[in-house]
Amino acid sequence: MQKPKDLKPLLHPRTMAVVGVSRKNDRHPANVIFYKNHLRQTVDVYAVNPKGGKLLGEKLYPDVASVPGQVDLAVIAVRAAQVPGVLADCARAGAKSAAVISGGFAEVGREDLQDEISAIAADAGMPMLGPNCLGIYAPGYADTFFLPPERMIRPEQGNVALVSQSGGILVDQMIKFADEGVGLSLAVSIGNKAMIRERDLLAYLTEDDKTRVIAFYVEGFGKGEGRAFVHQARDAGKPIIILKAGKSAAGTQAVSSHTAALAGDYNVFSSVMAQFGVVEAKNELELVSFCEALSCYDKPLSGRAAILTGSGGHGAMAVDECARLGIETPALSSALAEKVRAGLSEPVSSIASLKNPIDLTGSAVDDDFVHAVSTLSDSSEVDCVLLLLLPYLPGVTSDLGARLSAVFRRKGKPLAAYVPRLEKYRMLIEGFELNRVPVAPSIDGAVLMVEALRRCAPC
Amino acid sequence: MLKPEIKEILDQAREAGWAMEPQAKEIMRLAGLPVPDFTWARDKEEALACAREKGFPLAAKVVSKKIVHKSDAGGVAVNIADEDELAGVMDRFAGMEGFEGAVVEPMAQGAELIVGGRVDHQFGPVVLFGMGGTAVEVYKDTVIRMAPIDEDTVGNMILSLGARDLILGHRGEKPLDAAGIKSLVAGFSRLLMDLEDEIESVDLNPVMCSHKGCNIADARIMLAR
């Protein structure tokens, strides 16, 4: 059992020093990091440059030791060869943690240099993120990503934490989160993960009150590390989602047994994640759908879905996708169907199809949907309702999202909705999402939200 | 902890890099797993002698460090009906490369399953279970779990198979011995934990399973390099 590292100074720093701020080059990563935190975030930030002096009126400190007060996090963005010296300086100054943004280590064959900086950090008992990473993004608080603020897409503050080996994938996921209205508690780019690795973050985020869902993008674990990870994940008590790259990597050794041929690296990865209740996303669409669904609901489902729509075609496509994934769509009992029919508006009640999918037809109005969801929510025949809402139907108004969310709040039966993601339908979508009902921009995405609840052990 | 007798067999097998069928089956037997009443006959005379005790029909399989895939090399004979046929089979085997005798055992009945193990770099020992036989890599109807696992988990693995109904009882057939399957796979997964530092992978294929019970009809262990 490794000693838990105190990651609070690293992931929730009060004081940050940015080392490597240039006096000449305003596009230097360290300059971007310094200014965006200085101007936009609440963390106290100081710029470090060995030559000292001033930059646009801001004082430059010659080293970390001369920064006033205790430095929680030293963000290091200097050339690789200078990192050992800077880290040693941080250790002497008593900095509580470091994030090495600089590249030029194991990823280019300089394992020696990476081992050297890991040893310095380990000797000082100073948690080190990276190298070759973007660091951390804590909405409204601290942001060490060297991307100019006007270029960044910032998701809202929320309860999903993202941990990624790749900085690029992390930024991409943040864009998707912002698009889909998924809120972020913390994003961490771990880069070469020389010291701080997935398991350290899993331990921290398990205890973090602001985080409800923990999502990982991983390329691979070290020897035996996967085993320790799944044990830790099983005991975390929070939904954990994982996206693995390198699924197709061919084995390099000749395969001498049937078992070795059938239990290839990725098959083992995928099977073991499922065994321990970690929800594996196969691609980015699944990752964002799973994150959104699990950030909203906290009870697992057996997966008996009612599909409710105003279009027969949408219902048929959703049924196909449910069948592919093994989500049941049981036909409603005649008693339940009659209960639904009894409350529908007069023109709809005679033409609606009330099996499953339930097609209220293009004549349906808001009240019909509200009545149907309410009735289905009271029934034990299904444990969730998949809504395929077509905002262009004449009887559907932009108020429907908020009204159906109110049914969820009263009855507690999970809903997942598909609404085409267009600006003119935003009020309908926000009516759901601001009331914690997940909305997907595609039918498949909405089905995946139900799938997430079915697969997740500790939701 | 590995029994010293198991360690001894592994030490004998190390030079070849793998444990041949009689060695691997002996390890399974020592670990308390069900193997048939097999004999490693070193030559034709020993084969005929043990056949008289066991009675016919019998199966005979060549033992050779050079032959990993016995079926592919013509090294498996089944439903041997009498002594003449067995003598002919043994003469044929004796001409094969690296001949060290044959495994002689009663014919087993039932469905062919596979129980396998591998030491994965990221997750350590993992166990594989599913529909076996020589076409196992064609049908690919197998499931994987991280070892060790308990018998309930094996029950779940059975339900995850495409051919689950063949195990649970299909069109009036009696179901296979599920309790036997569960105890075999769970027991094997515990053995894998003890073998972690010694092996690369294990194939128990086929494991013959009927409504009456299960038996490891063939086994081989690829040792860690």
User: Residue B92 belongs to a domain with what CATH number?
Assistant: 3.30.1490.20
- Judge whether B121 and A265 are in contact, CB under 8 Å: yes
pLDDT at A1: 36
Q: Is residue A1 part of a domain?
A: no
- Tell me the pLDDT band of A140, cut-offs 50, 70 and 90: confident
Domain range spanning residue A340? 300-455
Mean of the pLDDT values across residues A271-283? Answer: 95
- Residue A364, domain CATH: 3.40.50.261
Contact B120 A268 (CB under 8 A): yes
Q: Is residue A328 part of a domain?
A: yes
- Tell me the pLDDT band of A2, cut-offs 50, 70 and 90: very low
pLDDT at B136: 92
Please say which residue of A265, A294, A323 terminates a domain: A294
Which tokens go with B14? 């190390």
Contact A258 B140 (CB under 8 A): no
Contact A268 B201 (CB under 8 A): no
Task: Please compute Rg for chain B using Cα positions.
Answer: 17
For an interface test with B, give the residue of A216, A221, A262, A267 to mutate (most B CBs within 10 A): A262
Beta strands of A144-282 (E only): which ranges?
A: 157-164, 184-189, 213-218, 240-244, 279-281
Provide, as residue numbers in chain B, all residues whose Cβ is less than 8 Å from the Cβ of A224: 122-124
Name the residue type at position A392.
Y
**Considering chain B, what is the average pLDDT of its residues?**
96
Provide, as residue numbers in chain A, all residues whose Cβ is less than 8 Å from the Cβ of B120: 226, 263, 265, 268
- Judge whether A429 and A439 are in contact, CB under 8 Å: yes
Number of A–B residue contacts, CB under 8 Å: 93
pLDDT at A4: 53
Contact A271 B114 (CB under 8 A): no
Mean of the pLDDT values across residues B114-130? Answer: 97
pLDDT tens digits, A212-262: 999 999 999 999 999 999 999 999 999 999 999 987 765 545 567 889 889
CA distance B220 to chain A (A): 9
Q: Is residue A156 part of a domain?
A: yes
Contact B201 A262 (CB under 8 A): no
Q: Is residue A286 part of a domain?
A: yes
Based on the domain organization, do A243 and A386 belong to the same domain?
no
- Judge whether A83 and A76 are in contact, CB under 8 Å: yes
* Residue B12 backbone phi and psi in degrees, to 5: -65, -35
pLDDT tens digits, A70-93: 999 999 999 999 999 999 999 999
- Return the bridge partners of B103, or none: B40, B61
Q: Is residue A213 part of a domain?
A: yes
Half-sphere exposure of A35 (CA within 13 A, CB side): 18
- Tell me the pLDDT band of B173, cut-offs 50, 70 and 90: confident
pLDDT at A56: 84
- Judge whether A173 and A287 are in contact, CB under 8 Å: yes
- Tell me the pLDDT band of A300, cut-offs 50, 70 and 90: confident
Taking CA–CA distances from A229, the nearest residue in chain B reads B123
Which tokens go with A383? 């444990």
Instruction: Identify which of A224, A226, A263 has the shortest CB distance to residue B144.
Output: A263
Instruction: Identify which of A227, A256, A271 has the shortest CB distance to residue B143.
Output: A271
pLDDT at A250: 57
Based on the domain organization, do B56 and B154 belong to the same domain?
no
Please say which residue of B106, B127, B154 terminates a domain: B106
For an interface test with B, give the residue of A256, A258, A280 to mutate (most B CBs within 10 A): A258
Contact B128 A269 (CB under 8 A): no
- Return the bridge partners of A279, or none: A241
Which tokens go with A37? 């935190």
Q: Is residue A181 part of a domain?
A: yes
Taking CA–CA distances from B221, the nearest residue in chain A reads A257
Contact A220 B122 (CB under 8 A): yes
Mean of the pLDDT values across residues A335-359? Answer: 96
Contact B114 A223 (CB under 8 A): no
CA distance B128 to chain A (A): 7
Q: How far apart are CA A365 and CA A393, in angstroms?
A: 8
Contacts for A324 with CB less than 8 Å, ≥ 6 apart: none
pLDDT at A249: 61
Based on the domain organization, do B64 and B137 belong to the same domain?
no
Please say which residue of A267, A294, A321 terminates a domain: A294
Mean of the pLDDT values across residues A265-286? Answer: 94
Q: How far apart are CA A421 and CA B188, in angstroms?
A: 52
CA distance A264 to chain B (A): 9
Taking CA–CA distances from B134, the nearest residue in chain A reads A258
Contact B202 A275 (CB under 8 A): no
Half-sphere exposure of A163 (CA within 13 A, CB side): 27
Provide, as residue numbers in chain A, all residues whose Cβ is less than 8 Å from the Cβ of B122: 220-227, 265, 268-269
Provide, as residue numbers in chain B, all residues whose Cβ is less than 8 Å from the Cβ of A223: 121-122
ipTM of this predicted complex? 0.94
Based on the domain organization, do B207 and B115 belong to the same domain?
yes
Based on the domain organization, do B210 and B193 belong to the same domain?
yes
pLDDT tens digits, A24-64: 998 999 999 999 999 999 999 999 999 999 988 899 999 99
Instruction: Identify which of B18, B123, B205 has the shortest CB distance to residue A272.
Output: B123
Contact A221 B203 (CB under 8 A): no
- Return the bridge partners of A358, or none: A308, A354
Please say which residue of A276, A294, A312 terminates a domain: A294
Contact B222 A221 (CB under 8 A): no
Based on the domain organization, do A275 and A318 belong to the same domain?
no
- Tell me the pLDDT band of A340, cut-offs 50, 70 and 90: very high
pLDDT at B171: 87
Provide, as residue numbers in chain B, all residues whose Cβ is less than 8 Å from the Cβ of A280: none
Closest CA to A275 of A246, A237, A234, A326: A234
- The residue assigned the tokens 């899993």 is A202
Q: How far apart are CA B189 and CA B191, in angstroms?
A: 5
Contact A257 B116 (CB under 8 A): yes
A228 touches chain B (CB under 8 A): no
| CA distance to A15, A53, A73, A79, per residue, from A95 (Å) | 10, 22, 7, 20
Contact A257 B220 (CB under 8 A): yes
Domain range spanning residue B204? 4-34+109-223
Provide, as residue numbers in chain B, all residues whose Cβ is less than 8 Å from the Cβ of A263: 116, 118, 120, 126, 128, 142, 144, 201
CA distance A109 to chain B (A): 22
Based on the domain organization, do B216 and B187 belong to the same domain?
yes
Contact B121 A223 (CB under 8 A): yes
- Judge whether B168 and B123 are in contact, CB under 8 Å: no
Whether A279 shows a pLDDT value over 90: the answer reads yes
- Return the bridge partners of B102, or none: B41, B62
Contact B124 A221 (CB under 8 A): no
Percent of chain A with pLDDT over 90: 87
B81 CB neighbour count, 10 Å cutoff: 10
Q: How far apart are CA A41 and CA A53, in angstroms?
A: 24
pLDDT at A43: 95
Residue A9's SS3 state is helix
Contact B68 A262 (CB under 8 A): no
- Number of structural domains found in chain B: 2
CA distance B33 to chain A (A): 19
pLDDT at A253: 53
Whether A361 shows a pLDDT value over 50: the answer reads yes
A277 CB neighbour count, 10 Å cutoff: 18
**Considering chain A, what is the average pLDDT of its residues?**
94
Based on the domain organization, do B166 and B102 belong to the same domain?
no
pLDDT tens digits, A370-389: 999 999 999 999 999 999 99
